[in-house]
Amino acid sequence: MALASKKVVSVGSALVDLLAMADQDWPERQGFKPGGMVEVGAAKIDELLATTGAEPRQVPGGSACNTVVGLSALGAKCRFLGCVGDDERGGFFVSALRERGVDERLVRVPGGRTGTCLSVVTPDAQRSMFTALEVSGTLRPEHLSPDFFDGADLLHLEGYLAFNEPVFRRAVAMAKERGAQVSLDLAAWQVVDACGDLFRSEMKNVDILIANEDEARRFTGKEPAEALEAMAPLAPVVVVKLGAEGSLVARGDRRIVSKGIAVDAVDTTGAGDLWASGFLSGLLAGDTLQDAADFASLVGAEIVQVVGAHLPESTWARLRRRREMGR
């Protein structure tokens, strides 16, 4: 079935990503472990950005948003709900989603400041992320209107939304009431530590569960292969991403191993989010599980070769052709 006939809706943090390059020792000088994610205030982001000496690139971000932007680029109809301020960055976020073909249902908060995520990339392709949520965390259950889910085949959620438990639960309930599948990306091991009980309580409503190896380890206490077996009974489709090594996928009694694609990585920002775009596009279009996972690896390999979580249209066009050829 053509991906263009499928509709994906998503709810998550609307964050403007600020992408900056820094030298290898930058994280240590700032007192941070490279590769992590730290929640900070807006003033701290401005302070850290100044220390890089770099002019940042600005793009729409947030885990779920990155995934639906990727799905839109691959041909699906996509809709996104989140909160932005009525500031300049909020206006940028609205325009950027529209330009990328996403039906934005953004709530504008009067006088609010749009959330930002500073991603500092070092020469080893590691990225250190610093997030100021601002109004992005102020979404309320009443913002979830029934028409938002009209015609939806899939609701995609980022694990970060679990910090807003009423919205998380309401979004899942409304999607299931309307016959949509639910995919959940656990997002970060810190989120699993904080929200694992909520995830477990809602797992009966999750159709596609996506975790990287750190998240799977925190969720189950097991290494990747054993973690997959522990999670396999929880959802119809379960994924453990292995970064550059590929992925492990379970559907019922079936197990799939998808190998990674060796490339020279320059930035891992958004790699997991765009991997999910590739994988979900395959599932929605009716591709085999192996083809969906292999295509996801291809998308992931493309995104780590650029700075940030966005690919040029020429690359998306090539990926669309490749997915169609591989079916």
The residues that are catalytic are 273
Residue 68's pLDDT is: 97
Residue carrying structure tokens 């965390």: 137
Spatial CB neighbours of 272, under 8 Å, sequence gap ≥ 6: 63, 185, 210, 212, 241, 300
Cα(35)–Cα(154) distance, integer angstroms? 30
What residue ranges of the chain have pLDDT lower than 50? none
Minimal CA–CA distance to 244: which of 217, 222, 218, 212? 212
pLDDT at 327: 55
What pLDDT does residue 1 have? 55
Residue 117 β-bridge partners: 17, 131
> Whole-model pTM?
0.93
Edge to edge, the sheet with strand 115-121 lists 37-39, 127-132, 115-121, 15-21, 57-61
Q: Where are the domains of the chain?
A: 3-326
**Fold of the CATH domain 3-326:** UDP-N-acetylmuramoyl-L-alanine:D-glutamate ligase (3.40.1190)
**Residue count of the chain:** 327
Query: Residue 236 phi/psi, 5° resolution?
Result: -60, -35
Which residues, 6+ apart, have CB-to-CB distance to 124 below 8 Å? 24, 34
Residue (of 13, 19, 16) closest to 89 by Cα position: 16
Among 130, 133, 75, 77, smallest CA distance to 109 is for 133
Note the pLDDT of residue 192: 96
Instruction: Show the CA angle centred on residue 9, arms to residues 303 and 147, nearest 5°.
Output: 160
What pLDDT shows up at residue 226? Answer: 98
**Phi and psi of 251, rounded to 5°?**
-140, 105
Provide Rg for the chain, Cα atoms. 18
Place of tokens 């600005």: 58
Contact predicate 235/204, CB 8 Å: no
The sign of the CA dihedral 236, 164, 223, 128 is positive
Q: Which two tokens stand for residue 249?
A: 């996928």
Whole-number Å distance between alpha carbons of 287 and 326 = 9
What pLDDT, on the 0 to 100 scale, is given for residue 326? 65
